[in-house]
């Protein structure tokens, strides 16, 4: 997992603080999804209207709130701050398969993505 590196305070003591899972403009969404897949989040998940997710393994549609969230990674575009995504690794409540979905939030979010983001368990 990549971590964003924050520079030391202005005193210049030469240390930095790494925050695992923090957004990094140097990591692509494709790389993040691939890292989730390497961890066993093999199925694709798709946002559906009304805060629902479709599991690519069993094809069941279930409320996003019913999925167990295993991992999340927020991304923001280096050249376009409006390119905001949340990659989520979750377990399907119907078949138990672990899957991954990339959801946009902010001004570029679809209605389906926004509904799922609101419905996901915290």
- Residue 102 included in any domain: yes
- Residue 5 included in any domain: no
| Confidence band of 43 (pLDDT split at 50, 70, 90) | very high
- Residue 4 included in any domain: no
- Residue 48 included in any domain: yes
Distance, in Å, from the CA atom of 118 to the CA atom of 31, rounded to the nearest integer, reads 25
Q: Work out how many domains the chain is built from and give that number.
A: 1
- Residue 60 included in any domain: yes
- Residue 1 included in any domain: no
Q: Domain span at residue 29? A: 23-119
Distance, in Å, from the CA atom of 61 to the CA atom of 57, rounded to the nearest integer, reads 11
| Confidence band of 54 (pLDDT split at 50, 70, 90) | very high
More confident residue, 84 or 115: 115
- Residue 10 included in any domain: no
pLDDT at 6 over 80: no
- Residue 52 included in any domain: yes
pTM: 0.75
Per-residue model confidence (pLDDT) at position 12:
35
Per-residue model confidence (pLDDT) at position 68:
97
């Amino acid at each position: 997992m990549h971590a964003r590196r924050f520079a030391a305070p202005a005193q210049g003591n030469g240390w930095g603080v790494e925050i695992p899972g923090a957004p990094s403009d140097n990591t692509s969404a494709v790389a993040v999804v691939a890292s989730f897949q390497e961890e066993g989040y093999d199925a694709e998940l798709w946002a559906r209207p009304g805060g629902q997710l479709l599991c690519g393994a069993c094809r069941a549609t279930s409320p996003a709130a019913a999925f167990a969230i295993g991992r999340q990674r927020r991304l923001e575009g280096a050249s376009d701050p409006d390119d905001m995504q949340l990659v989520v690794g979750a377990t399907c409540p119907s078949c138990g398969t672990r899957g991954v979905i990339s959801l946009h939030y902010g001004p570029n979010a679809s209605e389906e993505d926004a509904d799922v983001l609101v419905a996901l368990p915290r």
